[in-house]
């Protein structure tokens, strides 16, 4: 079974390992910007490993047009200092991880940046994450919305989802274990945000992410 050469993804905040594996291996990457925003999705959330287990970091947003608000039109709600809260959560969760101090100086300043729209923030963080790991990854934003694809592209817009009941099988992804700070306390937690892998495994993060591909690309 060969990895998809073309992939269609929804936008995401701090992408999980499954999502990131697509970014690292697919030749053509398209990110959806014309869909209706869906709450409780990865569009505005990420899952990290806190001292009490998996912890969701959620960016508060507003929906000017209710459930019909396009993702590209979703503004971030700054009534609460979520960016400071999220950074403190990352510090609390990973300050004892092997590579936190190495990446802290690069990631901390990102949380001082403010964007009006969620989409701009997500792309800003994604681009910087690419730079931090030293990979030049190109992606394209969709030009229009299509509810179905013609089969020439692997559509992961609704497959990668934080809710298990919403997830669909991914024939190209099989999580592999790696070091996690709280694994002895709560056990290994799979498919968290790539940032969990980065803080815990450092330079090996990309290699481990690729190992999660079922065809064994390394």
Question: Using one digit for the tens of pLDDT, what is the confidence trace for 68-98?
Answer: 899 999 999 999 999 999 999 999 999 999 9
- For 175-184, the pLDDT digits (tens) are 999 999 999 9
Position 2 confidence tier, pLDDT thresholds 50, 70, 90 = low
Q: Is 218 part of any domain? A: no
What value does the mean pLDDT take over residues 124-129? 96
Q: How many domains is the chain partitioned into structurally?
A: 1
Residue 45: pLDDT band by 50, 70, 90 thresholds?
very high
Alpha helices by DSSP H, listed for the chain, are 17-25, 82-94, 100-107, 118-133, 183-186, 194-201, 205-211
Task: Find the mean pLDDT for residues 127-135.
Answer: 94
Residue 165 lies in a domain: yes
> 217 lies in a domain?
no
Residues 6 or more apart whose CB falls under 8 angstroms from that of 137 comprise 23, 24, 29, 130
The sign of the CA dihedral 51, 44, 158, 210 is negative
The yes-or-no verdict on residue 216 having pLDDT over 70 is: no
The residue range of the domain holding 89 is 6-211
- % of the chain with per-residue pLDDT over 90: 80
């Amino acid at each position: 079974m060969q990895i998809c050469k073309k992939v269609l993804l929804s936008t995401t905040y701090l992408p999980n390992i499954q999502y990131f594996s697509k970014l690292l291996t697919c030749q053509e990457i398209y990110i959806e910007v014309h869909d209706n925003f869906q709450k409780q999705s990865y569009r505005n959330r990420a899952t990290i490993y806190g001292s009490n287990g998996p912890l969701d970091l959620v960016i508060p947003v507003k929906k000017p047009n209710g459930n019909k608000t396009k993702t590209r039109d979703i503004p971030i709600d700054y009534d609460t200092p979520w960016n400071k809260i999220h950074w403190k959560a990352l510090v609390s969760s990973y300050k004892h991880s092997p590579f936190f101090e190495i990446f802290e100086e690069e990631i901390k300043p990102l949380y001082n940046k403010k964007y009006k729209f969620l989409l701009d923030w997500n792309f800003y963080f994604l681009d910087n994450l690419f730079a931090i790991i030293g990979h030049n990854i190109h992606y394209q934003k969709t030009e229009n919305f299509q509810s179905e694809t013609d089969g020439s592209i692997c559509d992961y817009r609704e497959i990668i989802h934080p809710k298990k009941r919403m997830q669909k099988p991914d024939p190209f992804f099989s999580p592999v274990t790696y070091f996690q700070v709280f694994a002895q306390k709560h056990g290994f937690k799979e498919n968290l945000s790539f940032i969990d892998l980065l803080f815990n495994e450092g330079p090996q993060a990309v290699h481990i992410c690729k190992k999660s591909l079922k065809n064994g690309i390394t």
